[in-house]
Chain A
């Protein structure tokens, strides 16, 4: 009987695991069952090779951008079907966009674009602007000049990454400066200068490249680096953003590595994991760091055979750590031992980050 209970418990654990969506060459999104650790389906994209993906707050819709002609595809997570696909390029006019985000209603995308028009004798590069894409009309319906001029568009992710507050009233652009816009008129509501001290003894704050959701709508976390003004020693910490309340908290933790990937936090919010790298080329060394979130302490580290280039992710349950990108496979690490446990073969080279959908 005990064995039966054990099998039932194992089955329920397996069933509770979620689904991974990863964009791959040439124009597909692979669907991976976390429990089986196998590709179970794939989605054919209609406009080209996916380069980035976003997920709606309710986890029902995936938005993918494609690179050849600046396409947008909308995918229904439940049916795994493309429900809308269109190109932003028009003839000789290319709409290169960098940062982008779906609004909470799911009707529009907001992005930072730079139009490039092919003339008879030259390419004319337009100015960097905000653009609103109407998904029903399948086109850009509004351009808005960047408040503060084009220079305001500098920062991480070629213009910073964009996020909405849960009510859709505010748009956050995370770059060298965090700028908060009112979405009704694109006026700047507030800015946070990361180069200025957030706390005594802390300046030049740099956010990590990745902004990770705490699996709560409207709450983001990221790693940050900063240096002190006296001996300029680099430290890292955890930055938390409450997009609804417009509040930001920076918690310093300890000496920073040369490079740190995004922070992944377990669903119970107790443990965080990141990957650090020191050295370059053949001397590059990669380590997992496990962080106790309530106390802000590094509790465990483990070196691993990192690829030359990779992305770090976590399963929906927090029971697997993923190293993926630059290749056709996803390496699965055990968070308890931080050792390689298995490999998922996608049989196609990855071109995007990973979307993790928890089980219902």
Chain B
């Protein structure tokens, strides 16, 4: 892209999008401006999630990912991806204290 130069508004928007969005998985640490865009906020945060870790890869996730299910949940990382423990489904894990061992006992929830 260094030989091309955005000259109008739309081209500049495309350039900004490319600079901030495409991130190689498991590459070396990327500069701050090139990290994946992770929306913040308790209800939508996905960092880290079951899909990717904070660097956009998977190697930084707990192994297996179930290890970290509850602690990440109460630390406000995965509240939107699991049932609502606070109000509607307080017993969704009543039969599963160690998620790595007992994850099959986690209740299915159909809102």
Contacts and interface: CB of A to CB of B under 8 A. Distances in A.
Given A26-B93, A281-B55, A308 B71 contact: no
Interface string B52-65: 01110101111100
B67 to A, nearest CB: 4
Q: Report, nearest first, the 5 A-B pairs whose CB atoms are least far apart.
A: A282-B59, A281-B60, A348-B97, A328-B98, A327-B67
B74 A351 contact: yes
Interface of A: 24-26, 28, 49, 51, 67-68, 279-284, 307-309, 325-328, 346-351
B59 to A, nearest CB: 3
Contacts of A28: 97
A25 B55 contact: no
Nearest to A68: B86
Contact of B100 (A26, A284, A328): A328
Interface string B2-41: 0000000000000000000000001011000000000000
20 contacts: A26-B70, A26-B94, A68-B86, A280-B29, A280-B55, A281-B57, A282-B59, A283-B28, A283-B59, A307-B63, A308-B53, A326-B68, A326-B71, A327-B68, A328-B67, A328-B100, A348-B97, A349-B70, A349-B98, A350-B71
Nearest to A281: B60
Contacts of B54: 280
A326 B74 contact: no
Nearest to A348: B97
Interface of B: 26, 28-29, 53-55, 57, 59-63, 67-71, 74, 85-86, 93-94, 97-101
Nearest to B63: A308
A231 B16 CA distance: 33
B70 A351 contact: yes
Give chain B's interface secondary structure class: loop
Contacts of B94: 26
Nearest to A67: B74
A308 B68 contact: yes
Nearest to B68: A326
B71 A351 contact: yes
A226 B81 CA distance: 39
A24 B86 CA distance: 17
Contacts of A350: 71
A328 B68 contact: no
A282 to B, nearest CB: 3
A45 to B, nearest CB: 13
Given A68-B86, A307-B62, A25 B29 contact: no
B60 A347 contact: no
Given A26-B97, A325-B71, A328-B97, 17 more contacts: A49-B70, A49-B74, A51-B74, A67-B74, A280-B29, A280-B54, A281-B53, A282-B57, A283-B59, A309-B62, A309-B68, A327-B67, A327-B68, A348-B98, A349-B99, A349-B100, A351-B70
Nearest to A282: B59
Contacts of B61: 308
A279 B53 CA distance: 14
Nearest to A30: B97
A308 B69 contact: no
A308 B53 CA distance: 10
A247 B59 CA distance: 44
Nearest to A346: B98
Among B57, B70, B86, B99, residue most surrounded by chain A Cβ atoms (within 10 Å): B70
Contacts of B93: 25-26
A67 B42 CA distance: 14
A279 B59 CA distance: 12
B99 to A, nearest CB: 6
Contacts of A347: 97-98, 101
Given A25-B97, A68-B86, A282 B26 contact: yes
Among B54, B61, B68, B93, residue most surrounded by chain A Cβ atoms (within 10 Å): B68
